[in-house]
Structure 1
Amino acid sequence: MLEVTDLTTPGSAPGCTSQCPVRGGCEEIQMNNVAKKNITVEEIKAAHIQAVTSQKFEPVMVHELFGFSTPLKGFEKPIPVPAERHPLSPSVDSNYVFNESLVRRVLLSMATKDSIMLVGEKGTGKSSLINQINGRLNRPSIAINAGPGVDEGYLVGFRTLGKDGVKSVDGVLSYAYRHGLSCTIDEICSLNPGVLLSLNDILQGDEVVTLKHHGIDPELDPRELLGLEGGMNIVRHPSFRLFATDNTGGKSSRDPRYAGTKGQNAAVRSRFTSFKANFMSAEKEMAALHGLNTGVDDLNIQLMVEFAFRFRVAFSQEEAFDNISFRELKRWVTKMALYDDLDESFVDAIYGNLEEADQALARELFDETFDRDLVLPEEYTTSVADQLDALTKAAVSNAAQIA
């Protein structure tokens, strides 16, 4: 049976003033710093639970929340979802199409506080799945776009000068850990491997972590984060969840499409529960594209999806350098509605990003799918040689007229 704190969100500190088990009330533990305030780990945990459970909840059936027709195994009873919308909760896309099995397994893993990694091709909806799950559960979220410039200080904090002298400030990850936010690290394999190694205690779900160095003010309430200016030991908030997305799953890859990624330590990878994010079925992709409400007709949407699947088959058979993602399909449909032209929208949404060899394949597959040649804009059909030839002919013609 899932408890209230398993899938719910952090409450604000004022929610536990009258019955707070901590000496002096929640003002004493706002910083969640065990050493500084002489507060025990158990007292901080109790205050966290009190703050969470003091919120008003609404009982919701999971399958109804995510648009499924029947209850999910393990979620036959309602779960509590906070009634008041948190300002940091992701926006809900009512037309989003979920994978039932994947959602169920991710939710169960969230309930056991696993660190979760979604691995898959570009544009398979890894980040959007995390956002839509957190949005429907009304969980405040914060995201980090990983890269070589994201270091340990950015993630878990450092010491800096304040108006009253030197102070310790949180990084994005330690702030989420302290205050009970969902934190997503996008493209985690672009981090330097040593950075992730330093986070093993957080990745494996330790209840208390010691930060080596500590920019978000630890005293700042998450609800004030949108208006942000900016202890060694911190206790994990029960609502904290860690997510990551990646194309390679932390494994070494020779795929040149993912240049800049780095293989991660096997011990780091073992601390994640990894889920494969794949392309949706053709039916679900069509349903999701219809949900955009662009006005593009059913036949064109069906043929667009068919083209994408033809290209994906070619990629799987190593006949193409790159793949066609659902993200690109969405852009094609959106531009089709904007341009009112199938060919021009295809060229700008997909064709222009392809390698030259893949462009030749795209023209062939377009012909097979739509039963006609792709009409390319002038900039793709006129070469500098053609323009030089035209200039030469014009010069000859002018000379003949003068003579």
Structure 2
Amino acid sequence: MLKGPTGCGKSRFVEHMAWRLGKPLITVACNEDMTASDLVGRYLLDADGTRWLDGPLTLAARHGAICYLDEVVEARQDTTVVIHPLTDHRRTLPLDKKGELVSAHPDFQLVISYNPGYQSLLKDLKQSTKQRFTAFDFDYPSATLETGILARETGLDEETAAKLVKIGIVARNLKGHGLDEGISTRLLVYAATLIQGGVSPREACRMAMVRPITDDADIRVTLDNAVDAIFD
């Protein structure tokens, strides 16, 4: 279970983990309309009649892949309980509609992620779900490390990358004081990519870092002023 703010690298970590382990990765972007059938599978009608189609969770369990449920709290609680038999000593997945009990492949792994800052009474994991996982806390990297990430990901020079990181830190300090969420590492990468593509640093920051995170005029002015000061 990976917990941390949006855009801090949770999904990239899972992708890297799958690469290091040499395992296939099946990613599911969870949402409130997702049903248990979307995870385990369903019967479909085609020209040859009715056939069963495994869902992503079933495919991963059968073949020993990593199944990654991204932003799992967005799914309804009655949907996520389908993972319970897979995440305890049973390691099985009942396909009730098919009358089959799938035993998980020895290499099967299940990873879930969510942003604790977006939790509410209506959108939270049940304790019965949480206590089936080990947990890792993620946060934004240090300024030095984040500067290196921008330079390596986009080819941007480190001096400009460091300035972007400074703006990111300013925005993160405003969390809870007008901002629901600060500027993520992901948005910093987007801004760096725009700069590398020929967009001016000030305009890249406004388009990729300031405008996406707030519509509040006062907060925008504050962040725009920070951009102007840092890129003076």
How many positions carry a matched residue from both structures? 230
User: Does 2:130 match 1:246?
Assistant: no
**Equivalent position of 2:138 in the other structure:** 277
CA contact (8 A) 1:179 1:240 kept: yes
1:324 corresponds to which residue? 183
| Residue 136 (structure 1) aligns with | 20
Q: Distance in 2 between matches of 1:264 and 1:321?
A: 21
Deviation at 1:292, TM superposition (A): 2.3
How many angstroms apart in 2 are the aligned matches of 1:249 and 1:152? 25
Specify whether residues 291 and 142 from structure 1 end up closer, same or farther in structure 2 by C-alpha distance, changes over 3 A only: same
How far apart, CA to CA, are the structure 2 residues paired with 1:364 and 1:300? 17
Task: Return the offset for 1:210.
Answer: 2.4
* Change in CA separation of 1:211 and 1:244 when aligned onto 2, cut-off 3 Å: same
CA contact (8 A) 1:204 1:272 kept: no
Match of 1:363 among 180, 201, 224: 224
Give the unaligned 5+ runs of structure 1: 1-116, 215-230, 254-260, 373-403
Structure with the higher strand share, 1 or 2: 2
Look up the SS of the partner of 1:339 in the other structure.
coil
Taking the TM superposition and a 5 Å limit, the aligned residue runs for 1:1-400 are 117-161=1-45, 165-204=49-88, 206-214=90-98, 232-248=100-116, 251-252=119-120, 262-294=123-155, 296-315=156-175, 318-353=177-212, 354-356=214-216, 357-370=218-231, 372=232
How big is the shift at 1:250? 8.8
TM-score for the superposition, normalised by structure 1: 0.53
What amino acid is the match of 1:279?
Y
* 1:298-343 deviation per Cα after TM superposition (whole angstroms, max 9, x unaligned): 2211111111112212226x25343100000001111011124111
Note closer, same or farther for the CA distance 1:165–1:124 as it changes in structure 2 (3 Å cut): same
Structure 1 162/338 Cα, relative in aligned 2: closer, same or farther at 3 Å? closer
Q: CA RMSD in A?
A: 2.2
The 2-side partners of 1:166 and 1:369 are apart by 62
Distance change (3 Å), C-alpha of 1:292 and 1:279? same
Shift of 1:181: 0.8
Identity within the alignment, %: 25
- 8 Å Cα contact 2:5/2:117 also seen in 1: no
Task: Tell me if the contact between 2:4 and 2:10 (Cα under 8 Å) persists in the aligned partners.
Answer: yes
| Closer/same/farther in 2, CA of residues 199 and 250 from structure 1, 3 Å limit | farther
Deviations 1:244-293 (A, max 9, x none): 1111289426xxxxxxx722322112212221111011111111111124
Equivalent position SS for 1:272: coil
1:4-52 CA-to-partner distances (Å, cap 9, x unmatched) read xxxxxxxxxxxxxxxxxxxxxxxxxxxxxxxxxxxxxxxxxxxxxxxxx
**TM-score, normalization: structure 2?**
0.89
> Looking at both structures, which has the greater relative contact order when contacts are Cα pairs under 8 Å and sequence separation is at least 6?
2
CA distance in structure 2 between the aligned counterparts of 1:346 and 1:251, rounded to whole angstroms = 29
Can you give the 5+ residue segments of structure 2 that lack an aligned partner in the other structure?
none
Q: Pick the structure with greater CA Rg.
A: 1
